[in-house]
A and B are shown apart, each in its own frame.
Chain A
Amino acid sequence: MQKEYTVTVYTEDRIGITNRITVIFTRRGINITSLTTAETEIPGVYKFIITVMSEREKLEKVVGQIEKLIEIHRAFVHEEDEVVYQELALYKISTKSLHNGNIEKLIRDNNARILTITADYFVIEKTGHQQELIAMLKKLEPYGLIEYSKSGRVAIVKWSRRFHDHLKELAAKEADNFKAIS
């Protein structure tokens, strides 16, 4: 059965690693719905957080192929209840709508906040799960939404302790971040 899964991939810092990972999803015809990547607490080790709609069995095989790549430390498939996660959205609204009294209540009720205000527009930030961010989008549309931008998923794995201890041990070893830049 198709479901949303979070895939985490721990990699060395190498040019082209994103390509190497995504091409494996492409081969199996799996669409990546979001992708976030950044350095972890261990210098030189990067974490990819990928969300996909797929079947567990298919995804396990994809993860197996990803783990075969030389610069990959490990890759995991997570069910929704195995991760604590957040996404972030920015909403750009016409400043004219500030005159509408409901916007303050909307921001308060949704734990959103205003990042900036100019004469033309203001920008609201909200974090949460995708459904919440989309619900907020729907509520803001009547106020003259100019632009909406949402991040990929940021996730913490509930059972990650031993693996991250292992990653810390890696920090003592030479990285394989062959960066051939002239």
Chain B
Amino acid sequence: MQQKDVLPMKAKPVDEPTPVASAPLQPITGAEAVIRSLIAEGVETIFGYPGGAIMPIYDALYDFQDQVHHILVRHEQGATHAAQGYARTSGKVGVVFATSGPGATNLVTGLADAHMDSTPMVCITGQVAAALLGTDAFQETDVIGITMPITKWNIQVTRPEDIPGAIAKAFYIARNGRPGPVLVDITKNAQVAKCDFQYQKCEYIRSYRPVPALQEDQVEAAAALINSAKKPYILCGHGVLIANAEKELIALAEKAQIPIASTLLGLSAVPVDHPLYVGYLGMHGNYAPNIKTNECDVLIAVGMRFDDRITGDVSTYASQAKVLHIEIDAAEINKIIKADVAVHADAKAALQALLPKIQPQQHDEWLQGFKEADRMEEEKVTRHELYPTEGGLKMAEVIRLISEKTGGHAVLVTDVGQHQMIASRYYRFQDPNTNITSGGMGTMGFALPAAMGAKVGTPEKEVVAIIGDGCFQMTLQELGTIYQSEIGVKIVILNNNFLGMVRQWQQLFFDKRYSSTEMINPDFVQIAKGFYVPGRKVTDRAEISAAVDEMLQHKGAYLLEVVVEKEDNVFPMVPAGAPIANIRLE
């Protein structure tokens, strides 16, 4: 019998919870308890949209406008993505308000996205009065049932005295361990009725152990594996950024001279210019980091989950290598790729413990191999993408210009599709948490609202949203939010008048049968003008550099539409489900 089966794994006694926030002397409404609870959690910004069942909470918010900034979005989905962008740049929990029924169901895409991409978020939904639950009342929906599989936790509250406890738990669960979205559904009667208010932050749930205790034997085994490696290879995932372990990862890599590749969501953890950084993994990632997965002898996966867009055919993935998996979520270990050694821990704690046990090494020949493979990609793909001299504008040259002109220091928020892959390939990220994208879900329409949240979360940073023409039309109404709340995001639409990625697949795998992918588009600059956001449309290579300058120099929001080559493809490409070795450069 396996030892892990008998060991109590989850319990971790902690100190008594600390009381927070001064309690008002008189009983207050549940609605006011919501706002006071949020303030006690340090919430400064809420993205939301009012409606019948959440009106008491909005009414209570009216008295706290000096302490909490509410941003009125144009659609609840926009609120969720804005909260995601806010959370991923600021490191705080994103907070969303929505009403019952359609307000609540409009949160579903954002909740699922945040769940897949481990983003801390607390959504508070209004609900019909408890007496009406289950009666098909106006704007009643079973949001608890609907969001059960796409939240880290959810709860319905029907009494005002339960509100502070539920919100305290919601924040504790959302931000600890592997972060995720939490939904608190509050019935209208609970918002209106009064209760004595007392707030205690949650610091312990007896059935939940968010951060596993680091196990010394696992660290020893991991160190031995790394020290024995001739061709070690680090895959850096989102968990590195979440754990704030970028420095530790780089220190370990430098000590043993190990190349680092990044997953889509791991991008920006390691500066692109770092000599050990070898590129971006996955279906449209760089050539060298993909093929070297099948040549390394020790694969060190840190805070990542072996998504199928990274592994391709699992049976041929890194089958020659010993796999070391450092991961905080036990359910990810051995889920897709069997780990020879697993360190079940927070990435920072694990890397800190590992570093002194790692022997300095040199792997010159191994590192040189990456450079040689890079040269192939450079010749076949990159050169033509970044520095074209003829034909229509290329997405890659636009990204290169933005990268150069921002020094790689902007927060880059990308939508989903070809432009996302191109931006991820060619933007030269310098600072952690500057790559905001929808990874696991691949949610079209993510970028515009997420960029708003990113800008609100880090107002001192330049925030540039890279959006396809298809994606933009899914959430463009958020231009209204950008105007009303004066959010200075730069919006770049890479317009190829196609749903480019689907078209690429149709070209390569469906015999060029372009079924419902061509788009007859509106005038995006005129649309922006309608929302009082200035903009410019560029079609010529000669104009693009000046246009990017104009956008970046403009104070406040700006929309730049770039008409790019209509039928360009993103290469390299690993066909879905194929072995990585089948990567195509053209």
By a CB distance below 8 angstroms, the chain B residues around A159 are 1, 5-6
Residue of A nearest to B162 (CB): A180
Number of A interface residues in the complex (CB < 8 A): 34
Q: Which of B214-254 contact A (CB under 8 A)?
A: none
Q: Which interface class (under 10, 10 to 19, 20 to 34, 35 or more) fits B?
A: 35 or more
With A74-B9, A162-B7 as known contacts, state yes or no: A176 contacts B205, CB within 8 Å.
yes
User: Counting CB contacts under 8 A, is B145 at the interface?
Assistant: yes
How far does the Cβ of B273 sit from chain A's closest Cβ, in whole Å?
Answer: 37
With A61-B335, A180-B158, A182-B159 as known contacts, state yes or no: A70 contacts B330, CB within 8 Å.
no
User: Counting CB contacts under 8 A, is A98 at the interface?
Assistant: no
User: Counting CB contacts under 8 A, is A82 at the interface?
Assistant: yes
1/0 contact string of B111-151 vs chain A (CB within 8 Å):
00000000000000000001100000000000011001100
With A72-B207, A170-B11, A180-B158 as known contacts, state yes or no: A64 contacts B1, CB within 8 Å.
no
B329 touches which one: A11, A68, A76, A162 (CB < 8 A)? A68
With A70-B208, A162-B8, A173-B206 as known contacts, state yes or no: A178 contacts B155, CB within 8 Å.
yes
Residue of B nearest to A23 (CB): B149
User: Counting CB contacts under 8 A, is A108 at the interface?
Assistant: no
Tell me whether B149 and A27 are in contact (CB under 8 A).
yes
Tell me whether A12 and B207 are in contact (CB under 8 A).
yes
With A163-B6, A178-B169, A180-B157 as known contacts, state yes or no: A170 contacts B206, CB within 8 Å.
yes
1/0 contact string of A97-112 vs chain B (CB within 8 Å):
0000000000000000
Q: Which of B328-368 contact A (CB under 8 A)?
A: 329-331, 334-335
By a CB distance below 8 angstroms, the chain A residues around B331 are 61, 64-65, 67-68
Task: Report the separation of the CA atoms of residues A181 and B7 in the bound assembly, to the nearest whole angstrom.
Answer: 35
User: Counting CB contacts under 8 A, is A73 at the interface?
Assistant: yes
For this complex, 12 residue pairs linking A to B, each with C-beta atoms less than 8 Å apart, are A12-B207, A68-B329, A68-B331, A71-B207, A74-B8, A74-B9, A159-B6, A166-B11, A170-B11, A174-B206, A178-B169, A180-B156
Residues of B within 8 A of A (CB): 1, 5-11, 13, 130-131, 144-145, 148-149, 152-153, 155-159, 162, 165-166, 169, 173, 187, 189-190, 205-208, 329-331, 334-335
Known A-B contacts: A67-B10, A67-B330, A71-B207. Give 18 more (CB < 8 A): A23-B149, A27-B149, A61-B331, A64-B330, A70-B152, A71-B208, A73-B10, A74-B9, A163-B8, A169-B8, A175-B206, A178-B162, A180-B158, A182-B130, A182-B131, A182-B158, A182-B187, A182-B189
